């Protein structure tokens, strides 16, 4: 087994921002942060230049898992993809390595998208960051040739960490284009693409440097003499608009909310305004009695339910499941989430994308499992007999919460 990189034990938020409390207090959603040497020796353990080469040349990725941009504009996929077949299924969006590298040599930026979905180091890194933020995270990689730029001045509708992996890139960050924008990544309208005034940040990032750019802050980047590879870690922040819309959505269950406007409403604006005032007053009375616990619980559960376990190595675990015995040392899978709650006379164990319903009698044993860094089935002897604790342990391994701990 390859040795564990020394950075693997450092929490993702610390690798990016240093002191988590200071970052949240002074920078989160407020101000950019430039952190030199954030990644000791760079961020090659997450994704290296050789890794990008291997993904493009040997794994046949499909659009839109990768795309290309030149002079701030997306290239048409037909300029760097080809047709092919997998079995009997014809495909038209496979990576064409030769054309991709030709486009790159001609000044186009290569973008790998959604790497947290399929690149194991970034899957683990993203999950660790998500568990700190309790906001979803996505990771794109940008490989830009020398003396080039990818996108022009723009703002993102989510916060980002920029992790410089290879080469150098000059970044400029200005103040927010609009306060707390909604939607997707946004090119600025004509007249706003050349910000007035000096940038808040103007710095050349070297390998291992990290730049935090809050949502809505205008920014642009370009390479100098060397090609540049950086990771953009996007934090897809839930916002109060999302939650308050859910509160208002509850009002649609009220009969008065669904009534049509009166006949002839467009002929009498004053009468419509008076009726609207009555409805707004009704809405205020409704909001005063809304079950906010229901809304909050639903938002919390939505986050945890969308964090599936990482199942790398699960095939071997399943094949050796019957070898698990009372002395097997078990540990929580890295990044695995678990929330235990009562549901009537039963228990629900939420494990990301799955929920296990269990007898309430298992509650003491489950609390012991969730509170322990490591344990053996024999440690549950105070709550369960031999066969029962093996059944529980094997089930939790099968569902991706636990795994046999590495020895040594």
40 and 128 belong to one structural domain = yes
Q: How confident is the model at residue 190 (pLDDT cuts 50, 70, 90)?
A: very low
135 and 192 belong to one structural domain = yes
CATH number, domain containing residue 65 = 2.60.120.650
**Does residue 352 fall inside a structural domain?**
yes
202 and 142 belong to one structural domain = yes
Structural domain ending residue among the three candidates 223, 258, 293: 293
pLDDT average, residue stretch 7-22: 90
186 and 85 belong to one structural domain = yes
**Does residue 337 fall inside a structural domain?**
yes
d(CA 293, CA 331): 33
User: What domain count does the chain have?
Assistant: 3
- Average confidence score pLDDT of the chain: 89
Confidence check: pLDDT of 122 > 70: yes
Q: What is the pLDDT of residue 186?
A: 52
Residue 211, beta-bridge partner list: 34, 162
Q: What is the pLDDT of residue 277?
A: 95
Predicted structure pTM score: 0.87
- Side-chain-side CA neighbours of 370 within 13 Å: the count stands at 15
Supply the range of the domain harboring residue 249.
Answer: 240-293
Residue 350, beta-bridge partner list: 339, 355
**Does residue 197 fall inside a structural domain?**
yes
193 and 179 belong to one structural domain = yes
**Does residue 1 fall inside a structural domain?**
no
69 and 161 belong to one structural domain = yes
pLDDT average, residue stretch 233-259: 90
Residue 179 CB coordination number (10 Å): 7
Q: What is the pLDDT of residue 1?
A: 35
CATH number, domain containing residue 337 = 3.90.930.40
**Does residue 59 fall inside a structural domain?**
yes
360 and 219 belong to one structural domain = no
Ramachandran area for residue 247 (φ above 0: left; ψ -120 to 50: alpha; else beta): alpha
**Does residue 191 fall inside a structural domain?**
yes
342 and 193 belong to one structural domain = no
286 and 386 belong to one structural domain = no
Q: What is the pLDDT of residue 253?
A: 86
**Does residue 300 fall inside a structural domain?**
no
363 and 281 belong to one structural domain = no
pLDDT, tens digit (0-9, with 9 covering 90-100), for 249-282: 888 888 888 899 999 999 999 999 999 999 999 9
3-class SS of residue 240: helix
User: Based on the number of CB atoms within 10 Å of its own CB, is 316 exposed (0-12), middle (13-18) or buried (19 or more)?
Assistant: exposed
pLDDT average, residue stretch 144-152: 77
120 and 257 belong to one structural domain = no
**Does residue 302 fall inside a structural domain?**
no
DSSP 84: E
Q: How confident is the model at residue 318 (pLDDT cuts 50, 70, 90)?
A: very high
pLDDT, tens digit (0-9, with 9 covering 90-100), for 17-65: 999 999 999 999 999 999 999 866 679 999 999 999 999 999 989 999 9
185 and 266 belong to one structural domain = no
């Amino acid at each position: 087994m390859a040795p564990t990189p020394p950075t693997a034990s450092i929490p993702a938020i610390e690798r990016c921002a240093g002191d988590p409390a200071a970052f949240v207090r002074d920078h989160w959603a407020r101000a950019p942060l430039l952190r030199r040497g954030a990644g000791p020796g760079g961020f090659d353990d997450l994704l290296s230049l050789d890794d990008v080469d291997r993904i493009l040349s040997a794994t046949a990725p499909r659009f839109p898992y990768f795309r290309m941009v030149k002079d701030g504009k997306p290239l048409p996929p037909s300029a760097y993809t080809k047709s092919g077949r997998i079995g009997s299924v014809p495909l038209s969006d496979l990576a064409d390595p030769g054309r991709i590298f030709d486009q790159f040599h001609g000044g186009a930026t290569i973008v790998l998208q959604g790497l947290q979905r399929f690149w194991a180091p970034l899957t683990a890194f993203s999950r660790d960051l998500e568990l700190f933020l309790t906001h979803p995270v996505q990771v794109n990689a940008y490989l830009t040739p020398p003396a080039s730029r990818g996108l022009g001045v723009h703002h993102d509708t989510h916060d980002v960490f920029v992790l410089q992996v290879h080469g150098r890139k000059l970044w400029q960050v200005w103040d927010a284009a609009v306060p707390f924008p909604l939607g997707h990544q946004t090119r600025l309208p004509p007249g706003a693409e050349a910000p007035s005034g000096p940038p808040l940040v103007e710095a050349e990032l070297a390998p291992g440097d990290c730049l935090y750019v809050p949502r809505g802050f205008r920014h642009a980047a370009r390479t100098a003499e060397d090609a540049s590879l950086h990771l953009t870690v996007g934090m897809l922040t839930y916002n109060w608009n999302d939650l308050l819309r859910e509160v208002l959505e509850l009002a649609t269950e009220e009969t008065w909310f669904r009534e049509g406007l009166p006949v002839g409403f467009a002929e009498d604006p004053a009468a419509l305004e008076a009726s609207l005032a009555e409805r707004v007053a009704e809405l205020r009375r409704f909001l005063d009695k809304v079950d906010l616990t229901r809304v909050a619980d639903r938002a919390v559960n939505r986050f945890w339910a969308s964090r599936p376990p990482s199942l790398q190595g699960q095939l071997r675990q399943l094949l050796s499941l019957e070898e698990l015995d009372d002395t097997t040392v078990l540990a929580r899978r890295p990044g695995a989430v678990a929330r235990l709650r009562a549901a009537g006379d039963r228990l629900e164990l939420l494990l990301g994308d799955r929920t296990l319903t269990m007898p309430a009698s298992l509650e003491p044993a489950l609390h012991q499992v969730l509170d322990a860094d490591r344990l053996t089935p024999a440690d549950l002897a105070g709550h369960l007999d031999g066969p029962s604790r093996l059944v529980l342990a094997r089930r939790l391994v099968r569902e991706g919460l636990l795994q046999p701990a590495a020895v040594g």
